[in-house]
Amino acid sequence: MGTENSSRRGRVIASAAAALLLAGGVTTIGLGLHAEPPTPGPTSSVSAAPVPAPSPETAAGPAATGSTPAAPVPSVPDAALPASMPVRIEVPTIGVDAALTPLGKQANGEVQTPSGEPGSPAGWYQDSPTPGQTGSAVILGHVNATNSDIGLFYRLHELTPGQTITVTRADHTAAVFTVDKVDVYHKATFPTIEVYRNADRPEVRLITCGGYDRATREYLDNTVVYAHLTSSHPAS
């Protein structure tokens, strides 16, 4: 169960992260690699929105438009957990089972992005709470990989309310999150406050890119999955 200090740290970090994003001019994180998107297939690419980060161009990935509205989820939020570095993420319904690596900021202040090599891990933004703490933990992943059409979060847009995400932490606790909704935002109007807001319960955001424009070879949207902690147990 989380301590008062851990909860306070999570809230402070979440507020600071949101403020930083706003101060950064609502830029986006590019998580796509140069390549034509596969056909047929969904369109989404790994890149975090409103986080001061690099905007690497990448191959076209699935392009989803619109959003999956939130639906009542028959689960009760679990008690917040103390801080502990996330080391692995599993999302069975979309075939994700990968390591997590911490992402900081580059010398220019922009947020780092995970490596684009095939098999690369997803990244946890270390200035956000650790998954399971009170607040919104931010996890980024690529929609495609170098010389590959398929990236770790290529199918992120397929998630629906009620499905689960499991994050294994360094303290050997598995934090289980239940999806609340999946939204797709145009990068030009990305709702920074909504995505990075100071949540009053343990939540997680999975973020990637979407809306690939073949003419400009750029991703125009960001796909964001919102989920909240519903249980935790010893990792196997």
Tens digit of each residue's pLDDT (9 = 90 or more) over 141-174 = 988 776 667 889 999 999 999 999 999 999 999 9
Domain assignment of residue 160, yes or no: yes
Say what the pTM is. 0.74
Domain assignment of residue 205, yes or no: yes
Give the strand pairing for 135-140 and 164-169: unpaired
Q: Is the pLDDT of residue 224 over 80?
A: yes
Amino acid 230: pLDDT: 98
Q: Rounded mean pLDDT of 179-200?
A: 92
| Amino acid found at 126 | Q
State whether the Cα torsion 71-156-207-35 is positive or negative.
negative
Amino acid 30: pLDDT: 56
| Amino acid found at 70 | A
Query: How many structural domains is the chain composed of?
Result: 1
Q: Is the pLDDT of residue 54 over 50?
A: no
Phi and psi torsions of 157, nearest 5° = -65, -15
Amino acid 74: pLDDT: 46
| Mean pLDDT, the chain, integer | 76
Q: Rounded mean pLDDT of 182-201?
A: 91
Per-residue pLDDT band at 25 (split at 50, 70, 90): very low
H or E stretch including 137?
Answer: strand 135-140
Between the alpha carbon of residue 196 and those of residues 39, 83, 116, 193, the distances in Å are 33, 18, 24, 5
CA 185 – CA 125 distance, rounded (Å):
20
Among 74-78, 145-149, 162-166, 193-197, the minimum mean pLDDT is found in 74-78
CA 159 – CA 130 distance, rounded (Å):
22
CA 179 – CA 229 distance, rounded (Å):
9
CA 118 – CA 62 distance, rounded (Å):
17
Q: Rounded mean pLDDT of 51-73?
A: 45
Q: Rounded mean pLDDT of 93-118?
A: 86
Domain assignment of residue 75, yes or no: no
Three-state DSSP at 88 gives strand
Domain assignment of residue 73, yes or no: no
Q: Is the pLDDT of residue 56 over 50?
A: no
CA 59 – CA 51 distance, rounded (Å):
21
Q: Is the pLDDT of residue 5 over 90?
A: no
Domain assignment of residue 77, yes or no: no
Q: Rounded mean pLDDT of 14-43?
A: 42
CA 13 – CA 114 distance, rounded (Å):
21
Contacts of 226 (CB under 8 A, 6+ apart): 70, 179, 180, 181, 182, 183, 203, 205
H or E stretch including 19?
Answer: helix 4-23
Domain assignment of residue 74, yes or no: no
Domain assignment of residue 115, yes or no: yes
Q: Rounded mean pLDDT of 78-89?
A: 94
Q: Rounded mean pLDDT of 131-141?
A: 96
CATH number of the domain at 88, please. Answer: 2.40.260.10
* Boundaries of domain holding 20: 4-66+82-234
Q: Rounded mean pLDDT of 98-105?
A: 94
Q: What percent of the chain has pLDDT over 70?
A: 64
